[in-house]
Each structure stands twice: as structure tokens, then as C-alpha cells.
Structure 1
């Protein structure tokens, strides 16, 4: 496979969030944070198809990167690709000379249940945690959520009120199919478009094997 200068990827196994790596001088190199600005971060998210930049910071990883890093890219912020930015000052440097870059773009998405393996189903999108409505949700979708969260392979669905009434209702009419491999492949209404009442139509899921919080102490003292 032939790689071109300025190609980017994010390590860490998450789409649209991770440690930044740039293909530079025939190798993948991480980036030093102190050489980066909002302009370069905006181009990177755009190049990845991940929307706009939410934040960039030092990497949470504590493992030392054994390869060389890169510094010196300079963008105006309007470019579609880092290869279109100036790399006249770009050069490989020792990674130990500074903190490495970690970025989160607006299309980064994550799911959680509010009480571990049970609770309100909430999704992180565009920098904000929001609700998922229960309309049209079925067992296939519920089971997908439990599997993705490593909370067993099955669960049960009920409807409840939002934990934060002002939180956006990000997803509605979410209905997974047997061939979907993760929740983001499942059909739904467009982001933010819903027919959901935050007082009683938010999805609540209890995964198989999850111990209800109100029964925890009861079991402890049996």
C-alpha cells in the first residue's frame, strides 16, 4: 500500500478521537502538541471526515512512543488536507521532547447507560451527552447496546424520564438489524430530529446480569 505525505490517522481504536499520527517521510509519526493550533486541528478533523474540532490536548497515554514525532505543519484552517498545508518547517523530532497530540472531533460518538449496565441510554455527540428515545426500539437494538457495553448479550427495555430535561434528544426511531455490527450502523431518525417527550419517552435499558442499584445492599446483607 502506498501512503502519501500528510495522510492522517487516529490511534486508540476510536473513530474521530485519539492520538494523532501523520505519514511523513515514509513513516507514521505522532505530533507534538506545542506545534499545533486550532487551524491544523480543524483541517485534520475535516480530512478524517469527522466534522469540526471539539478540542485538542496532550495524550492521556502514559506509554512512551518509541518512534520519532513530527512538528512544523502550518495551516490556514481552510484546507481539506494536511498535504495542502505548508510543511516547509516540518521535521521529525524525538517524541520525548514534548507532549503528544490527542484530538476529539465533533463526529466522535459514544454510548453509556447511566448506572453502569442499566439506566437511561445516553449518547455523546457534537460535544454533548443527550438522550435516546424509545420509539420503535426493539430487542435487537437493546441487545446491541448491552453487547457494545460489555454488559452481557441481552437486556430489557422500558421508558422513563430524562435525567437532565434540558439535554438534547439525539436519537429517535433507533432500530438495529441482525447484520449491524455496532449501534452507529443502525437506522434512526436524523441526529436531533425526534418526536420524544423528555418526561416519559426516554429509553431505559437493563442488561442481563446487571444488579439493580436498589437491590445491591439487600443482596449484600442476605
Structure 2
């Protein structure tokens, strides 16, 4: 009899486990019902909560849409309004623009070990509205397990942006700050290169105080390390500092991007970006000419003539770093565009994106060759014995263009 119960229990567990996919969502908690409650996400067989850092109405709209509510969201909650969860806190720093179909299409931090700088008193919630249609629930998309790794860095704090901010390091499920003892431009240079910038212009500590643990102190980099964790430093969490000593950086030059692959050249190829100390590819989901324009301008070209997909320039072998990139077209770096969190994707290398940029030198050559053809046509045409001033001016112009073409071809 006991054996029958054991088998039945196992079957029930298997049935429950198979009913959910990674990053499905549900609404639970005190005072919750089918249309409002604490947001929980399913990941690797467990339900967990979402921290309310950056949580807002746009994020709530996405959760409600994922649940099938056609009216979107009427509100969002923070501070565990629907009670505190007791499970892991899986997601933090969720930032949606409100148009995504699933929370996985937003940017976020995935805490695979359940550790964050949040407490359950910060659990987030939503209030949905409108009829619910199960037909509109979007199928699950599984993303890689690792989105944030120990030793990754980010820039945060008051006045921070893509290239400047308070330096924070990720370790054992938590983001923490770096003390400014011994902090100098060489340390800043390593952090900036780890983030994909070419250099650093400042090692200032002007971006406000952090609230998490102080993870690093007495950092001494030589300047050529690929990660701050390779530099000399105290053991992690060993310090004599306060948060008013949190270190920061200002990085210089655009985030690194390159064009590579079979058939690539200076102005065309598979797009690869540099982040977290590694080169990686870009998935072609949502890839279009606006994205290509941003990449080409970042490389110094005026614009793109084509955005390629399907690994036209061969398949990469490193990580796939970016997915669902959506540029407006006026950004100065691809990293300023809307996109998934770094390494959050559902792609394969056969979906690597590429670009073909307009080559100014090539365009100049084409323009000059056009005028030279005109010169040949004029030379072949019958002419009268009389030469006007206009005839002579035209000849001088065409001779100058011929000289320019020869000069360009020599370069």
C-alpha cells in the first residue's frame, strides 16, 4: 500500500513539474486573486519572487500581458503589498518598456542561487485589468541559466550612465561596492575595459553611496588585467570602509564592436560586441537597418546599407551576448539600445547578425568614376573647331577628377 502511495506521489510531482516552464509567472499572496497579487516566477522547478528595484507600471503591463489580460495593468505594487514571499528572490532590476510579451524579454538580473541585495519586504506585485484570454498567453522561452556571473561589474548610482557610475561587483548572488582605498586610474582602466570601453578618464567617487555589502578593498591593478578580480586586493568582503568611500569610474570611448567572419572586411561582417571581458555575437531577433545604422556609425561609417541575418558572415563560436536589440537609430552605441540583459537569449549561432556599412572611400571612387565615364563620352562625341569657355572649364574639372581618382586609388 505504501508503495502505491509513493508511486502516486511521484506521478503527481512529475505532473506538477511538467505543467510549468522557466519564467512562467503567477500572482499569489495576502489579498491576491486571479488578477492581482505578488509576482512570482518559475525557474528550475521552483517559484521565486521579484524585487521591486526599478519596478513600475511598464513592468506590470508585461506581466499582465504574459498572463493573458487583454487590458494590461491598472497598477503595480512595491514593498510587499501582497505579503512577503518565503522562496528565493529570482529577479532584480527588472526594466521593461511595456511592449514585451514576456518578462524574459525585458532587461533584468537573474539570481540563479537566489541571492540579491533585496529582502522579501521588497517583493513586487501587479494589478491586471480587462478580460483574460488563455489563447493570448505567450509560449515559454527558456533563457540560459547564467546571466550574471561572479566577478561581473556594473556602473550604478546617482548620475550614472552607460559609461560612468559607482563600481559594483557581483559575488555569490549579491552586488556590492568597491572601497576607494588605493583606487586610481589603473583600477578604473581595468573596470572600463571589462565593460567593453577602450579607456578611462577618471577614477572619481562621486556617484552616491551603495546599500549592499562592500566586497572589495585595497584594489591594486597593474592596468593590463582583463577583470578587476585578477588585480591584487583584500580577500572578498574584507575591508575597513564605509559606503561614503565607494569607488567610481568614468570610462572613455564607445563600447567595443567589431566586424568579423568569412567574407568580412572593414565595412561588413558578423557583428560582435565586447562585454564582461569577452567578445560575443548578436542574435538576429528584431535585427533591422536601424540597429545596423548604430553599429556602422559606432565604427566610424556614416550609415548601413544592409542588416544581415542567418549568420551570413559565418557562425561565431563565443557567447551570444545580445538579443532582441531595438535601436531607434540615433544612439551612439549598440549598448544604448533596448535589448535583453547581456547573455539573456533563446538563440543559436546560426542566427548571428551582421551589417554592411556604407564605405565613404568606395562611394567617392564610384562618384569619380561616374564623371570619368562622362569625360569618355564627351571625348568620343563629335566636336566643332570652336572651343568656348564652358568647354575649357569642363575639361579642367574632369582632369581634376581624374587626378583625384588616381590619388584615392593610391591610398
Secondary structure of the equivalent of 1:16? helix
Aligned residue among 352, 356, 361 for 1:206 = 356
Aligned residue among 193, 197, 207 for 2:344 = 193
CA contact (8 A) 1:40 1:77 kept: no
Secondary structure of the equivalent of 2:335? helix
Secondary structure of the equivalent of 1:176? coil
Q: Which runs of 5+ in 2 are unaligned?
A: 1-178, 194-198, 206-215, 222-226, 244-248, 363-408
Question: How far did residue 14 of structure 1 move?
Answer: 10
Q: Deviations over 1:37-90 (max 9, x none)?
A: x963389xxxxxxxx626569xxxxxxxxxxxxxxxx7554368x9659xxxxx
Aligned residue among 331, 336, 344 for 1:180 = 331
Distance 1:75 1:204 in 2: 43
Higher normalized helix content (fraction of residues): 2
Structure with the bigger RCO (C-alpha within 8 Å, sep 6+) is: 1
Q: How has the CA–CA distance of structure 1 residues 210 and 134 changed in structure 2, closer, same or farther, with 3 Å as cutoff?
A: farther
Distance 1:147 1:113 in 2: 13
CA contact (8 A) 2:255 2:333 kept: no
Question: How far did residue 175 of structure 1 move?
Answer: 0.9
Secondary structure of the equivalent of 2:353? strand
Instruction: State the partner residue of 1:169.
Output: 320
- Written as runs of structure 1 = structure 2, the 5 A alignment for 1:1-222 is 6=180, 10=185, 16-17=192-193, 18=199, 40-41=218-219, 53=228, 55=230, 75-78=234-237, 109-114=255-260, 115-159=265-309, 160=311, 163=314, 165-178=316-329, 180-199=331-350, 201-209=351-359
Instruction: State the partner residue of 2:382.
Output: none
Q: What's the RMSD between the two structures over aligned residues?
A: 4.7
CA contact (8 A) 1:142 1:156 kept: yes
Distance 2:229 2:314 in 1: 24
Q: How has the CA–CA distance of structure 1 residues 163 and 118 changed in structure 2, closer, same or farther, with 3 Å as cutoff?
A: same
Q: How many residues of Structure 1 are paired with residues of Structure 2 in the alignment?
A: 153
Question: How far did residue 155 of structure 1 move?
Answer: 3.0
Distance 2:270 2:278 in 1: 15
Question: How far did residue 130 of structure 1 move?
Answer: 0.8
| Structure with greater Cα Rg | 2
Q: Which runs of 5+ in 1 are unaligned?
A: 25-37, 44-51, 58-73, 86-102, 213-219
Q: Deviations over 1:150-172 (max 9, x none)?
A: 02223311121675653111111
CA contact (8 A) 1:119 1:204 kept: yes
Q: How has the CA–CA distance of structure 1 residues 22 and 206 changed in structure 2, closer, same or farther, with 3 Å as cutoff?
A: closer
Secondary structure of the equivalent of 1:146? helix
Secondary structure of the equivalent of 2:297? helix
